Structure 1
Amino acid sequence: MDILVTVVLPLSLAVIMFSLGVGLVPADFRRVAERGWVFAIGALCQLALIPLVAYLVIMIFGLSGAIAAGVMLLALCPGGVTSNVVSRLAGGDVALSVSLTALISLISIVTVPLLVGWSVRHFMGESAPDFSVTSLALAMVLITALPVAIGMGVRALAPDFANRAEPGLLKLASALFVLIILAAIASNWDLFVENFASLGPALATLNIVTMLGGLMIAAALGLTRAEQKTISIEVGIQNGTLGITLAPIIAGVASGIPTIGLPSAIYGVVMYLTATPFVLWLRRRAS
C-alpha cells in the first residue's frame, strides 16, 4: 500500500496530465486571448462557483472534519482529461474544453495549496495536519504542470508520433482514472461504506448543482449552445484523481488513502451516475 501512495498514484496522475499535454498546441492557449470573455466566464465558474456550492453543500448536509475538508479539496481541483472527453460526447466546444482544462490546471498550482490550507484549518481545527503549502504547490508542479509541459514538448518535436499516440494515451488516462478511484475506495472500504449514505447525496448534489449552474450562467451571458455545454461540464466534472493523489501529501501519510481523499474517491463513482443522464440530455439539446 505504501507503493500505491508514494509511487503509483503520483505516477498515474502524471501520465494522465501527460496525455493532456500531448493533445495541446500553442493555439490552445492563444484562444484564451482571442475568446477572453468566454474563458473569463469558465474560469470564474470553476474558481468561484464550485467552491461556493461545495461550502453550501457541506453546511446543508452537516459534514465536518476531514470529510468536509475533503469535499473542499475536490471542489478546488480543476477539471481533468475526463471533462474533455465528456464535452466531446455532449456535443460541446471541445477546443474550449481543452484550453480551459489546461488554463485552470496551471492556475490551480497557486489556488489549490492556498485554499486547501484554509479549508483544512477551518474544518479540522486542532486535528488539522501540519503540512507545507509550498511543498503542496511544488508537488502539484511535478505531477501536473511538468507532465503537461513534457507532453506539449513531445507534440512540438514529434507531431506525427503525438497524433498516433494520443488516442491510446486517452484510453490509458481513462483506465488509470478508474483504477485510482477503485484503489482509493478499496483502501478505505470501511470508511466508504460508513460514509456513502451521507456523502453520496451530498456529492451528487454538488455535481448536479454545479453543472446546472454553469449551464444557466453561460446561457444568461449569451454564450453559444456548444459553449454552454462545455462550461457546464468543465464546472461539474472535477479531477478527482488529483484530490486522491494530494490527500496523502496533505495528511502526511505513506500508507493507505486518508479520510480527506474519500470524497474524491466517492465522487468518481457518483459523477458517472449523475453526469451520464445530464450529458444525454445535453446531446438532445439543439446545437
Structure 2
Amino acid sequence: MVVRNRFISGIQSVDAVVSVFLPVSLGIIMLSLGLGLTVADFAGIVRQPRAVIAGLSAQVILLPVIVYSFVIAFGISGELAFGFMLLAASPGGVTSNILTKLVGGTLALSISLTGLISLLSVITVPLLVVFWAGLFLNAGDVTVDVTSLALKMFAITTVPVAIGMIIRAIAKDLALRIEPVLSVIAAVLFVVIVVGAIAASWSVLADNWATLAPMTALMVLCLLALGWVIARLVGLSAPDRAAIGMETGIQNSTVAITLAGILHAGPEALPVIALPAAVYGILMYLGALPGGYLMYRAVKRAP
C-alpha cells in the first residue's frame, strides 16, 4: 500500500511538472518578452517589409530544412530526430534580442521578428508537429491534437506576450521596473528547465554525446550564417543582417522542451524528445560566440 501510494504520488509530481511548472515558466519568459514590446515595434514591420520577409523566410521556411538536413546527415532518427524538428518549429528566443544588441544589430527588427514569429507559432507549430511526428515517430509516441495544441500554444505564448504589451502600454514605468526582475527570473527558469531535461535523459545523452555535441554546435553556426546570407541577398544593411542572423540561429528551446512534455504520451515529465532542445540550449552559445564576433566585426566595418 505504501509503495502504491508513493507511485501515485510520483505520477502526480510528474503531472505537476508537465501541467504546471513548464507552462508557467514559459509564460513568465514570454511575459518578459511582451514587456519589452510596443505597438511601435510591430509598426516597424510595415516600414521594413524586405527585412521581415527575409526573417520569416529564414526562420519559418529554411530553418527547418537546414535542421532536417543535419538530422539526416548525422543519422539521427526516432525521438531524437523529432526533438530536433520540434526545436526547428519553435520561435526565436528572447536571447536573440540580447545577442543582437551586443553585436550591433538592429534591435527593433530583432524584437519585432521575435514577437511576430512567436504569435505565428500558434498556427505554424501544431501543423509542423503533426508533419514531423508522422515522419519520425511511431503511433502512440506522442499525442497530437492540432486544435488542442494550438489553444495551448496560444495560452502559453500569445497571451503572456499580449499581457506584457498591455502592461507596457498602460503602465510604462511599472513595466520598466519589473522587466529586469522578470528577465532574471526567466533566465533562472531557463537554466532549471534545460538542466532538468538533460538530467531526465542523461543516459541517452551519454550514449549520443559524440554525435549530438558537434552536430548541434555546427548547426547553430550554419543557422546564424543562413540568416545573415538571406538578409544580404535581399540587400539589407549589416545591422539588419546581424538581427536576422541571430533570430535564425537562436531558437526558443524552452518552447520546444515545454511542448515535448505536453506532447509525450509516456509517464516521463521530460522525455527524450526534449533532449535536443536542452543540448541546444547550452551549445548554442558555443556557436553564438564566434558567429556573433564575426557579425560584430562586419557591422563595425560597414559604412
Query: Could you tell me which of 35, 38, 51 is aligned with 1:22?
Result: 35
Q: CA deviation at 1:127?
A: 5.2
Query: What pairs up with 1:164-243 in 2 under 5 angstroms?
Result: 164-243=177-256
SS of 1:78 mapped into structure 2: coil
Q: Is the 8 A contact 1:82 1:174 kept in 2?
A: no
TM-score in terms of structure 1 length: 0.96
What TM-score comes out, normalization by structure 2 length?
0.91
Q: Distance in 1 between matches of 2:160 and 2:228?
A: 31
Task: Quickly say closer, same or farther: Cα 1:273–1:36, change in 2 above 3 A.
Answer: same
Question: Partner of 1:31 in structure 2?
Answer: 44
- Name the amino acid aligned to 2:90: C
> SS at 1:175's partner residue?
helix
Aligned to 1:152: 165
Return the alpha-carbon distance in structure 2 between the equivalents of residues 70 and 105 of structure 1.
19
- 1:1-287 residue pairs with structure 2 within 5 A? 1-2=13-14, 3-126=16-139, 128-253=141-266, 255-285=268-298, 286-287=301-302
Cα deviations across residues 233-270 of structure 1 (Å, max 9, x unaligned)? 00000100000000021113454311111110110111
How far 1:131 sits from its partner (Å)?
Answer: 2.1
Give the Å deviation of 1:186. 1.5
CA contact (8 A) 2:50 2:234 kept: no
Q: Name the amino acid aligned to 2:264.
A: A
The equivalent residue for 2:10 is none
Counterparts of 2:267 and 2:63 in 1: how far apart (Å)? Answer: 29
Work out the CA distance in 2 between the residues paired with 1:126 and 1:161: 48
Alignment partner of 1:269: what SS? helix
How many percent identity over aligned positions? 44
Instruction: Write the distance in 2 (CA, Å) between the matches of 1:4 and 1:130.
Output: 17
The question of whether the paired residues in 1 share the 8 Å contact of 2:122 and 2:154 is answered with yes
SS in 2 for 1:160: helix
Equivalent residues, number: 287
Structure with bigger gyration radius: 2
Q: Check conservation: 2:100, 2:110, Cα contact below 8 A.
A: yes
1:126/1:252 Cα in 2 relative to 1: closer, same or farther (>3 Å)? closer
Given that 1:65 and 1:124 are in contact with CA atoms closer than 8 Å, whether structure 2 keeps it comes out as yes
Q: Report the CA distance between 1:220 and its aligned residue.
A: 2.2
Q: Offset at 1:19?
A: 0.4
Give the distance between the partners of 1:259 and 1:107, measured in 2 at CA. Answer: 26
User: Which runs of 5 or more residues in structure 1 are unaligned?
Assistant: none
Q: Is the 8 A contact 1:21 1:151 kept in 2?
A: yes
Secondary structure at the residue paired with 1:129? Answer: coil
Q: Which runs of 4+ in 1 moved over 3 A?
A: 125-128
Give the whole-Å Cα distance in 2 for the aligned partners of 1:212 and 1:131: 33
Structure 1 residue 140 displacement after superposition:
0.6
**1:63 alignment partner, SS class:** coil
Post-superposition shift, 1:208? Answer: 1.1
Paired letter, 1:109: V
**How large is the RMSD of aligned CA atoms in angstroms?**
1.4
CA–CA separation in structure 1 for the residues paired with 2:268 and 2:141:
18
Q: 2:231·2:244 contact (CA, 8 Å) conserved in 1?
A: yes
Distance in 2, matches of 1:33 and 1:193, equals 47
Aligned-pair CA distance for 1:169 = 2.0
Paired letter, 2:288: A
